[in-house]
A = this chain, B = another copy of it.
Amino acid sequence: MSARVQSESFDLGAELSGFGAGAGAIVTFSGLVRDEGGRLVALEIEHYPGMTEKALAAYGAEAAQRFGLSDWRVIHRHGRLAVGEPIMMVATAARHRQAAFAAAEYLMDWLKSRAPFWKREIGPGGAGAWVEARSEDEDALSRW
């Protein structure tokens, strides 16, 4: 049961070692930097130190209670992340698969629209546009 905000990379396999012991179902999500057809070389991720950690821990605890998770983990990076690098991950452990899937999707929907991170595109020529929030991401929250 932990939330981390960090600039260093992480290894999904290493993070999962020992995760969810005793559970029947483990779901993970990881988000990676896409090159958007060659338009991007990296993303620069800004965040709100202090609030970020609190928000991730709060959403994790909420998901744990709502879906009866036996374990959960959230890691989100900030700073400059090259194409192909992991941006973040969530992992959820529960008795059955439905709860583990639902909790991972719930966490992702909250992180996308309610955790204080902002992505900026970095192209071959340097810093580009701030990524705009997608209305689908906002809409996704309404299902919970």
Residues of A in contact with B (beta carbons under 8 Å apart): 11-14, 16-17, 20-35, 84, 95, 97-98, 100-101, 104-105, 108, 136, 140
Q: Select which of B11, B27, B31, B97 is within 8 A of A24 by beta carbon.
A: B31
Main secondary structure of the interface of A (DSSP, over half): mixed
Q: In the complex, what residue of chain B is closest to A30 when comparing beta carbons?
A: B26
B12 touches A23 (CB 8 A): no
Contacting residue for A12 out of B13, B21, B22, B34, CB 8 A? B13
Q: Most chain-B Cβ atoms within 10 A of its Cβ — which of A13, A16, A22, A28?
A: A28
A29 to B34, CA, bound (A): 22
Cα-based distance from A87 to B108 in the complex (angstroms): 26
Interface contact B101-A105, CB-CB below 8 Å: yes
Please tell me which one of the listed residues B84, B98, B101 contacts residue A104 in the complex, with CB atoms under 8 A apart: B101
